[in-house]
């Protein structure tokens, strides 16, 4: 049984070109991907009926759990109906005509910068923290400054017309993010030989 769909939309946090956008395109190409500014906006879009589904990153093999998501889920009123994994790839990108020698600063989300320390150190770049990786790419495109670059997913370079200066610059090749798909309605899988994932949520007392 699949979750009912009425709007044909799936919401995600970030700007077009973000990793959440990529995983939406990979697994829900028939749905319109809707960018939201915050995780709260993503949850609200599904609860209000503005979107059928939400694509939410839950943890990463390098950075660990995604902050705040475990606080939002218990009170969201939504159901986990699917799970997907995305191998994270980051490229260094800048406006056309830039080179690795011309760039002086690199913009990205704090986690992406932390996952690409080697190339940042090798090039001697000054880091600038942005709200998300795709947003960093858009900022670089808007600035049109050949001394500035972004670390972002490959799709962001295509969307914002940037030139890729270095590919797959993440420090670890096993960098993977786990995403869950949320819906207003639960999915009750039919009995069968395929494994079924069950998620438990519980609270514990925080005592010294």
- What pLDDT, in 10s, does the model give residues 56-87? 999 988 878 887 888 888 888 899 999 999 99
Question: What domain range includes position 71?
Answer: 9-88+175-183
Catalytic annotation, pick one of 39, 43, 90, 179: 179
47 part of a folded domain: yes
Respond yes or no: is residue 199 known to be catalytic: no
Note whether 90 and 155 are within 8 A (CB): no
Rg of the chain over Cα atoms, rounded to whole angstroms, equals 19
Q: What is the mean pLDDT of residues 142-155?
A: 97
Same structural domain, 113 and 58: no
pTM of the model: 0.85
Catalytic annotation, pick one of 61, 177, 198, 200: 177
4 part of a folded domain: no
202 part of a folded domain: no
Please name which of 110, 121, 126, 2 lies closest in space to residue 62, comparing C-alpha atoms: 110
Same structural domain, 71 and 140: no
Dist. CA 66–CA 182, nearest whole Å:
16
- What pLDDT is attached to residue 160? 98
Same structural domain, 26 and 60: yes
Same structural domain, 76 and 36: yes
Respond yes or no: is residue 133 known to be catalytic: no
50 part of a folded domain: yes
């Amino acid at each position: 049984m699949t979750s009912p769909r009425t709007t044909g939309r799936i919401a995600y946090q970030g700007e077009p070109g973000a990793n959440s956008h990529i995983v939406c395109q990979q697994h829900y190409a028939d749905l319109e991907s809707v960018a939201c500014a915050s995780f709260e906006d993503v949850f609200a879009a599904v609860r209000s009926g503005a979107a059928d589904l939400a694509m939410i990153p839950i943890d990463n093999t390098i950075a660990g759990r995604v902050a705040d998501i475990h606080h939002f889920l218990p009170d969201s009123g939504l159901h986990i109906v699917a799970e997907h994994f995305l191998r994270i790839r980051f490229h260094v990108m800048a406006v056309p005509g830039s080179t690795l020698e011309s760039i002086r600063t690199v913009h990205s989300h704090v986690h992406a910068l932390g996952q690409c320390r080697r190339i940042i150190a090798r090039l001697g770049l000054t880091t600038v923290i942005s709200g998300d990786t795709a947003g960093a790419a858009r900022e670089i495109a808007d600035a049109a400054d050949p001394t500035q670059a972004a670390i972002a997913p490959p799709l962001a370079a295509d969307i914002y017309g940037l030139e890729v200066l270095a590919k797959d610059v993440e420090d670890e090749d096993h960098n993977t993010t786990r995403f869950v798909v949320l819906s207003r309605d639960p999915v009750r899988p039919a009995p069968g030989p395929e494994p079924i994932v069950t998620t438990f949520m519980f609270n514990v007392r925080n005592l010294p």
